[in-house]
Structure 1
């Protein structure tokens, strides 16, 4: 594990901030002394402290601004204007500002912060909570290669990470940001099919979940395309063909594609508002 000497402060102590902080500690990337968090919600502060024992948690942002090398804005988009107004004139040129708020562009961040602030925008997803995240980030014009590497290391502590152009982040939001909900819907439907055909509910759900996990891992580790892997389990006149024909008849696969498109378009709309 590379030596990571920076301090990271989270403005917002919700689930994603908690997941990132816990990942950094459990992976050995950072110690609790390098982390700090702030949130006005007492419940959020208690939950963060329970999950990441030993990390200092505050009810105001001042300690973050005074101590953190990297400031992570782990807040909802609708409260971003108020937070930026609060911290805007206190961020220094030595600090990197990272946003994980969906739809808040680098341009909007730059407008509210000092000129030439170092900015990075991140789109994580909820499987970060179990160390299986898929995160993408885009850097602002003043962010350095070192800044990008720092964020890559933090995000790798909770899953896989990719750098993309900012104009691709809406599609990332539609695919990996919203995608877990689509996969949960698929797992739910698979389990319901198993139950309908006689399996106990608990067993059907466990089989569906493990099947989805195993199939995804096959794509990630074999280097084969989903189409090639699908062909490996599809025999002429067999059970899989029957199932795929039913899926095609109901346009099931196309529905998932359209779900990503719809989620991406909504992300674009939110970014324009």
Structure 2
């Protein structure tokens, strides 16, 4: 009897184990992995505002292209050197941008156009300097450079790091540049300013990082370096009318100015 009871209990336990195994496996198969929240894609058009500052250098040069007679020949190198300078400029900018981003995997690609009001200024003065061969008289140069508009047309490439992405950028830049050279002479009483301006084209490279601050809002910090084409032209130097007596003596100078700028700015954009 005892042996029979033991056999019965063992059989029942075995049967329960076999029947429970499939149910446990089925329960395990039906358990889904936990859901992971997916960040939205960066793809889309955007528009926004930006602002920041700029600092750079203006390199100037000049040459006396004649006719001879206004300056003593030996004085010309000193006068030319006085107008050949490199000086700093700086200022602020504010404006807006519009662009498009496209995300493929972890890569983010974009194109953008930005337009900014700018207020870059720089100047330098040298003199009065005594003429080498006419020591009883002096000359001086006052040089000034400025810009009041900046536009950039760039592409950028970045890497998705979740709520932000770093990028590099490059393209073309256009700026309205101004340069003036004021010459003062006490030998022939002279106070003449020659001024030039141009919508100059240059190239731009830089880097930055974009943050997703909300579903559709992006905040960016970036640094840009720009190098613009030289510009300038010819200008006449002559006596101040009605002062002194130098007759009809005049000379023509050829001027050139080149701007190189660094820009740091923040941009807030709304992505559609």
Q: TM-score by structure 2 length?
A: 0.21
* Structure that is richer in helix per residue: 1
* Structure that is richer in strand per residue: 2
Larger relative contact order (C-alpha < 8 A, sep ≥ 6)? 2
